[in-house]
Chains A and B, each alone.
Chain A
Amino acid sequence: MIENYSTQKTPTTTKDWTDKTAEERIKLLRNELKKDKLYENFEPIKAPDNGQVVIRVEQIIPANERGLLLLDLEQKLKSNIDVGITIWCEPVGDKSKLRNLRGIKFKK
């Protein structure tokens, strides 16, 4: 049978995390990333109270590798820093010149 998590709450950040400043959190994340060469081109750029961390990735990771690499990283950050961390990559804006005439910019 499937494991039924339909009513479970998503983990939120602890007081330890929210008590820190954004700079302190970024430093923590950066130190964790430095531990593994796999993440040498990863740079945390946002670390808000709610744990929705945004990472800039300065390399193209093949599609068959990037998902697992990032999910594994998230798991490490949850285990080593805070259970409420969720990672996202820096978004990319629309590259369509035509649609860009609309002037809609990706809200980050």
Chain B
Amino acid sequence: MKTENTQHKKFDNNTVNTKEGKLILDSHKLSYHYDRVKAWENGERIAPVSVDVALTRACGAMCSFCYAMVQEQKERSTIKVKEALDLVDGLVEVGVRGVSLISDGESTLSKAYVPFIKHASNVGIDVGNATNGWEWEPEKIDQVLPHLTWVRFTCAAGTPEGYSKIMFKNAEHTEVFDRAMKHIRYAVELKKKLNLKVTLGIQMVLMPEFKNEILPFAKLAVDLGVDYGVIKHCSDDEFGTLGVDYSKYEDMHGLLEQAEKLGNEDTKIIIKWDKIKNKGKPKYKRFYGSQFLPQISGSGLVAPSGMFFNARYSKFHIGNVVDESFKDIFKSERYWKIMNYLASPSFDAQTMMGTLSMQHYVSEALDNHVKGISRISPQNGEKPLHVNFI
């Protein structure tokens, strides 16, 4: 993907070379799923490459940057173990290649967490998980880590006080930091001990007011021995509910560059420059990415993007996996009517949705593709890590 951020690009397609392979966090992997791109361009009804899911809407944290604050819906349903396992079967039947547990809840709190991961892994779907790690105890880690492709820990800051202030009640409650670090260190050790392929990373969601935590965060990543520490922008809805001031990100570029340099052979420090420099407004009007990566709320609600979970966007609500199978939802006319609406002139991604969604890189690449600005071409050769998470 051609970007304006050439001064920060050290690798092609924003790829970072790690000991374990090519890591792409600040771009997309559509070139490795060219069969789906081609079919999509031909007007076929394609299966998503990846689906993002939460197994619950519950969360014990209170992160000040949390997008779940604007994702409330009228749905009160919960996903039980059987429904979670059925969901896995539905994803397989449809042809989904990767499932991430991120979305709008802390999936580690769900009783379905361990069975879901094991089942998905057993039937050949790659699984990734973003978590705060607070309730991710060794017993749970032992069971899931061999089945996971990646785990990304939400880590809002590098200091215990900063972390606790941003992610919990106040700077005095550092017990949550200690707990998370203990679990992350355990996972790092287990990965080494069992020689697991899983990638472990920590992620800072950067709001301008947290800039003093940038360097401590990078140092923490190196100290923990995780594979990477990534710093990304903070998303906000189209009304600016979370109060993210995108004009202030530019002032932090110097600090971010310093943080990048703290990385080493074992731990890469990655800055999502493309998103950080985006200033919160996409170049595209049509939203194509959701056909490749729809999202499911912890309530079971299926929507083209997590940015449409709130009741405000009820017209984009497709179905609920608690009530019907994912396969039936995928095959329904409503699924395609909603997806097609987002690709039509009726929808304007610049004004009708929040900033920098999970589908952003894919949407941008597909928009550039259809406009002829930068055509996606098939990639042969070595696949990047986490290829099934586009």
Closest-CB distance, A80 to chain B (whole angstroms): 16
Interface size of A by CB at 8 A reads 44
| Residue ranges of B at the interface with A (Cβ–Cβ < 8 Å) | 40-43, 59-64, 66, 68-70, 72-75, 169, 237, 239-243, 284-286, 300-302, 310-320, 323-324, 329, 332-334, 337-338, 341, 343-348, 352, 367, 370-371
Instruction: List the 10 shortest-distance A-B pairs measured between CB atoms, nearest first.
Output: A70-B315, A107-B239, A91-B312, A63-B320, A92-B311, A10-B348, A92-B72, A8-B345, A89-B314, A94-B69
Contact across chains for B334 and A61 when beta carbons are under 8 A apart: no
User: Given the complex of chains A and B, what is the CA–CA distance between A62 and B74 in angstroms?
Assistant: 10
Contact across chains for A99 and B68 when beta carbons are under 8 A apart: yes
Q: Which residues of B contact A57 (CB under 8 A)?
A: 314
Contact across chains for A10 and B323 when beta carbons are under 8 A apart: no
Known A-B contacts A67-B316, A92-B74; the reply to A2 vs B311 at CB < 8 A is: no
Known A-B contacts A63-B318, A67-B314; the reply to A107 vs B240 at CB < 8 A is: yes
Is A38 engaged at the interface, CB distance under 8 Å to the other chain?
A: no
Beyond the given pairs A66-B314, A99-B63, 7 more chain A to chain B contacts, judged by CB atoms under 8 angstroms and listed by A's residue number, are: A2-B343, A63-B301, A70-B314, A71-B315, A86-B352, A92-B311, A93-B72
Q: Which residues of A contact B42 (CB under 8 A)?
A: 1-2
8 A Cβ contacts from A83-108 to B: 86-96, 98-99, 101-102, 104-108
List 15 A-B residue pairs with CB atoms under 8 Å apart, sorted by A's residue number: A5-B286, A9-B345, A10-B346, A63-B318, A64-B319, A64-B332, A67-B314, A67-B334, A68-B337, A86-B352, A90-B311, A90-B312, A91-B311, A102-B69, A106-B69
Nearest residue (CB) in A for B349 is A10
User: Given the complex of chains A and B, what is the CA–CA distance between A57 and B313 in angstroms?
Assistant: 12
User: Given the complex of chains A and B, what is the CA–CA distance between A31 and B346 in angstroms?
Assistant: 23
User: Given the complex of chains A and B, what is the CA–CA distance between A42 and B315 in angstroms?
Assistant: 14
Known A-B contacts A99-B68, A104-B241, A106-B70; the reply to A6 vs B284 at CB < 8 A is: yes
Nearest residue (CB) in B for A107 is B239
Closest-CB distance, A108 to chain B (whole angstroms): 7
Q: Which residues of B contact A70 (CB under 8 A)?
A: 314-315
Contact across chains for A4 and B334 when beta carbons are under 8 A apart: no
Contact across chains for B320 and A4 when beta carbons are under 8 A apart: no
Q: Which residues of B contact A67 (CB under 8 A)?
A: 314-318, 334, 337-338
User: Given the complex of chains A and B, what is the CA–CA distance between A9 and B66 in angstroms?
Assistant: 32
Closest-CB distance, B258 to chain A (whole angstroms): 30
Q: Which residues of B contact A62 (CB under 8 A)?
A: 320, 323
User: Given the complex of chains A and B, what is the CA–CA distance between A68 and B318 in angstroms?
Assistant: 8
The one of B73, B319, B345 that contacts A11, using a Cβ cutoff of 8 Å = B345
The one of B323, B348, B367 that contacts A64, using a Cβ cutoff of 8 Å = B323
